[in-house]
Structure 1
Amino acid sequence: MSYLRIDHVDKVFTSGARATRVLEAVDLSVEKGRFVTIIGHSGCGKSTLLNIVAGLVSASAGGVVLENRQVDTPGPDRAVVFQNHSLLPWLTVYDNVRLAVDKVFSRKKSRAERHDWTMRNLELVQMTHAKDKRPSEISGGMKQRVGIARALAMEPKVLLLDEPFGALDALTRAHLQDQVMALHRTLGNTVMMITHDVDEAVLLSDRIVMMTNGPCATIGETLDVALPRPRDRVTLSTDPHYLECRRRVLQFLYERHHYVEAA
């Protein structure tokens, strides 16, 4: 039985008399502890689908089931990390994470336990040294690490990542990819991530979900990535299975469903 189920989801956006069907009959099952990446061209509804899973956007038809319970509103069981880190600039690194901890665990953990849990999650992303700094005093990669710590501190059943490395330079991006892989190996959490990057998708994923072009986008193909973990990007660069997975995704994106620039 699937842990997370996206059940025949449609999404239609309306503006006056005009209706645009962004997603059509999206059907996907995700097993517990799996790392699933959604990839596709701009405008195919990837972020819309992630926001439906997060409960930030309502499906027009179908729904999302998590552990046999339909979810259609935001909740701490589904934590989101956006491309924009979304940290509160007037709070310190510690307080940005502690805010989420207090919100979720105010009745379950004592004040001392909430402090320890905040520090534990900062430690997971190697940010305890900057706990008293404000977002303006740290780098973009460090901000994303704090955003990931804040999401993990909520103990979500599903971690949702919306292009979390998209605004970072190549070296910082690679470092955070490695860190996310290490966190996933340590915590065994269920992850759904959006990306435009084929190499990132193959490196991180257990399964890649390829979206057709919009409007009326749907899942065109899925690909299981049977690469052993832990994964090393240098070793994988010449691995036959890695290269075949990369070829399959590129073929889908650029031959079967190539991007068509809007007129």
Structure 2
Amino acid sequence: MSHAYLSIEQVDKSFRRGGTTTEVLRKVSLEVDKGEYISIIGHSGCGKSTLLNIVAGLTDATSGAVLLDGKLVDQPGPDRAVVFQNHSLLPWLTVYENVQLAVNKVFGKTKSAGERHDWTMRNLELVQMQHALDKRPAEISGGMKQRVGIARALAMEPKVLLLDEPFGALDALTRAHLQDQVMQIHAELGNTVLMITHDVDEAVLLSDRIVMMTNGPAARIGEICEVPLPRPRQRIALVADPTYLECRSTVLRFLYERHRLVAAA
């Protein structure tokens, strides 16, 4: 039996529509240590988000299992918080209320009202959004909305933070700023992160390991790239770092080779 903190064990996933069955994932296995930052990368349609949804408990695996801290994952739970590409904030609630909603849900019976307020503020401070407490989502930028979404997820104190292309809809400058902030939060909290991304540079900058998926249907893990860059990482300093460049080259080579095979089919 696996002793990994998060263990994805021989996961298959097929969808049936009408008389047609589509095999999305085949025999996906991955072990993640506590405090590790893992990125999953691959071409569109390779089942990355499906795999994340299985870990989140939002989708059932056809076969195989996911274990978190020794317990079977078979439904959604606050021990796995998801941040999607679209922020998913409730538009009628303020920034503070959006985060407090999650805090009340998870800690309503274990923390006092004062403690819940302090915890809400603590998580807004982590993403530098304490200045916008009373604003509603329509009154803040896309990057700010995503920061509130991350604060809301962190406020649940999840065992695993699941990020589904969290920076995909943002402009380059906002994206870079948020990546730096996520690195700082990871350094401070030591949390376990599983992130879906299409961005090779983002994966190398943030991750301890990059999981590269083969193309669908029946996608599986093709390669895993270790990223042995010391932390804290500075993006400007890494531009010419030989280890950074080698990791980047490894992932790009894998993705372009997969793209070539699809184009030739």
Mark the runs of 5 or more structure 2 residues left unpaired by the alignment.
none
CA distance in 2, matches of 1:260, 1:42: 12
- Aligned residue for 1:8, secondary structure, equals strand
Query: Which residue is equivalent to 2:93?
Result: 91
When residues 205 and 259 of structure 1 are mapped into structure 2, their CA distance, relative to the original with a 3 A threshold, is farther
Deviation per CA, 1:133-161: give whole Å up to 9, x if none: 00000000000000000000000000000
Query: Which residue is equivalent to 1:115?
Result: 117
Contact 2:7 2:32 in 1 (8 A): yes
C-alpha displacement of 1:257 = 5.0
Contact 1:212 1:257 in 2 (8 A): no
Out of 36, 57, 66, which is 1:55 matched to?
57
- The amino acid that maps onto 1:126 is Q
Contact 2:94 2:137 in 1 (8 A): yes
- Aligned residue for 1:260, secondary structure, equals helix
Query: Which residue is equivalent to 1:46?
Result: 48
TM-score, with length taken from structure 1: 0.98
Out of 46, 50, 64, which is 2:66 matched to?
64
CA distance in 1, matches of 2:74, 2:35: 22
- Aligned residue for 1:227, secondary structure, equals coil
Query: Which residue is equivalent to 2:189?
Result: 187
- Aligned residue for 2:262, secondary structure, equals coil
- The amino acid that maps onto 2:152 is R
C-alpha displacement of 1:256 = 4.2
- Does residue 129 in structure 1 map to residue 131 in structure 2? yes
- Aligned residue for 1:164, secondary structure, equals coil
Stretches (4+) displaced over 2 A: 256-261
When residues 110 and 229 of structure 1 are mapped into structure 2, their CA distance, relative to the original with a 3 A threshold, is same
Out of 193, 196, 199, which is 2:198 matched to?
196
TM-score, with length taken from structure 2: 0.97
Mark the runs of 5 or more structure 1 residues left unpaired by the alignment.
none
C-alpha displacement of 1:259 = 7.0
CA distance in 1, matches of 2:27, 2:85: 26
CA distance in 2, matches of 1:219, 1:40: 10
Contact 2:87 2:146 in 1 (8 A): yes
Q: How many residues align?
A: 263
- The amino acid that maps onto 2:67 is V
Contact 1:41 1:259 in 2 (8 A): no
When residues 181 and 258 of structure 1 are mapped into structure 2, their CA distance, relative to the original with a 3 A threshold, is farther
Query: Which residue is equivalent to 1:224?
Result: 226
Deviation per CA, 1:46-67: give whole Å up to 9, x if none: 0000000000000000010001
- The amino acid that maps onto 1:214 is G
- The amino acid that maps onto 2:131 is H
CA distance in 2, matches of 1:34, 1:213: 25
Structure-to-structure mapping, 1:113-262, within 5 angstroms: 113-258=115-260, 260=262
Out of 51, 72, 75, which is 1:73 matched to?
75
Query: Which residue is equivalent to 2:36?
Result: 34
CA distance in 1, matches of 2:226, 2:103: 35
Contact 2:215 2:258 in 1 (8 A): no
C-alpha displacement of 1:72 = 1.3
Q: CA RMSD of the aligned region, Å?
A: 1.3
